[in-house]
Chain A
Amino acid sequence: DTGVSQNPRHKITKRGQNVTFRCDPISEHNRLYWYRQTLGQGPEFLTYFQNEAQLEKSRLLSDRFSAERPKGSFSTLEIQRTEQGDSAMYLCASSPGGMAYNEQFFGPGTRLTVL
């Protein structure tokens, strides 16, 4: 399968714990995006990378959220000191470069439940 993969698919944690999610994009894609989606809502844009450079991070929800893409391949999204309001689906997508914006290929998401 050469699509976008995300791990884990599900994560249950207790409030106050840190969690990290991984995204492996399509190999030839140099753009990678993170979104959060809550029930009944559209995905909410968080951040994106062009290769290893994080070009937009002001949409991250708070300073508890951080993302990295150290070698321009896979990416991680970390949430520190989780809160119950962080419970959501976290989606990753990737796209080829070139245009200012183009078709994104989404992974299946990581569902986070904070108890």
Chain B
Amino acid sequence: RKEVEQDPGPFNVPEGATVAFNCTYSNSASQSFFWYRQDCRKEPKLLMSVYSSGNEDGRFTAQLNRASQYISLLIRDSKLSDSATYLCVVRDSNYQLIWGAGTKLIIKP
């Protein structure tokens, strides 16, 4: 079993819709959680950290469920520019980052 698992997609979503995807992690001792965004043939960029209480940044909401060991990302009112691959990242107790393979999102006009 992979340490961090994501549905690879692609998720094909019409512009303006709401989309959500999850990421599961296997190590219950994991300490911190992040979502990165990676555009095609570009480097990953930090989208947001995921806090225990959940957090929101504009149209993006991240949630953490420690009991079930998953994190989620919700995107509201999706824009064409949201098309990208979203990488789930978990930091373990040794401060190492474990990366998911990513979920590809395609927003269609």
A and B, one complex?
no
